[in-house]
Amino acid sequence: MAEKLRVVLAATPAYREMVFAPESTARLEALGDLVVQDDPGDAQALTATLPGTDVLITSWGATPLTAAVLDHADRLRLIAHSASSVKHFVTDEVFRRGLRITQAGQAMAEPVAEVSLAFTLSLLHRIQRFDRAMRDGAWRDDVPAQHGLTASRIGVVGASRTGVEYIRMLVALRAAEVVVYDPYLTDERAAELGVRRTSLDDLLRTSRVVALHAPTLPETHHLIGARELALMPDGASLVNTARSWLVDTAALLDELRSGRIDAALDVFDEEPLPPDDPLRALPNVLLTPHQAAATVECYFEMGQITVDEIERHATGRPLRYELTEAALTRMG
């Protein structure tokens, strides 16, 4: 028998409609008392709502859970984040008080991996270049070299949730070889995934496409800079659906302007990308507006995972996506 809970859902009406399908909302209501707070960033409203609350569901724009906020959480035991990264609102105080945290980021792994795969195939076949040239009136003028996936080595930087989904897709489509750089990836796990571990420099020197799936950590800032980009072979391509934090954008722009490499980017230092940003004018760049995870199904799955985790908590079962303090230091 599930324990009856008081659950606070701190999310805007638009977010609730996008993420919590009627079925998910009904499941939350069945857990006990569901209280909705329309402004997730309103700390004062949250502190007024927290007393007597067992579970707090957070969303985009969540207010930081400081000691002053958590002092009002007399019964709180679980924080269920209905999106991905929790670093913008989870403080040391959360762990100090023994609160449990779970999040729904797994829902984003597959759609982002799909976009990374779509980018990979587009770059191999130079679709972005052909599209731009044909819009300018060209027809098979200066045709760039095209390659197939089954003849290409693909390098993956970061065996994260999304990185693993991307790897599985590449292996299923019989990429010639998949190499991975990730300091936390073991040989045993690499063998399970059907990939080979390697150094970052070797990956960059030998891969036809390099896809970034590493987390945003101090040590990954500008992981790909001028030196690293210079290692990539002529005609190689870079895929970034992770974070612009990983790449020195000025160095990337220099390489792209030379025409030596291509890129497909979903993330940028400044968002929205300014209308006059030079990336917009380059024929060897494929751009999307930070929308890789934004499928209808992804959003609803975020809600489903959130409810699943709360039901597991209510019935005393292990959480599937619990975050520990140690794990959080390795996550973006």
Active site residues: 243, 271, 290
Which structure tokens are listed for 317?
Answer: 């079962």
Handedness of CA 306, 312, 316, 319 (dihedral sign): negative
**CA separation for the pair 209, 230 (Å, rounded):** 14
Q: Bridge-partner residues for 55, per DSSP?
A: 7, 78
Handedness of CA 6, 7, 10, 12 (dihedral sign): negative
Give the DSSP per-residue string, 228-265: HHHHSPTT-EEEE-S-GGGB-HHHHHHHHHHTSSEEEE
Q: Residues with Cβ < 8 Å from 150, sequence gap 6 or more?
A: 173, 174, 175, 176
- State how beta strands 285-287 and 322-323 pair: unpaired
Find the DSSP H helices in 136-238: 161-172, 187-193, 200-206, 226-231
Which structure tokens are listed for 118?
Answer: 């779509």
- State how beta strands 5-10 and 55-58 pair: parallel
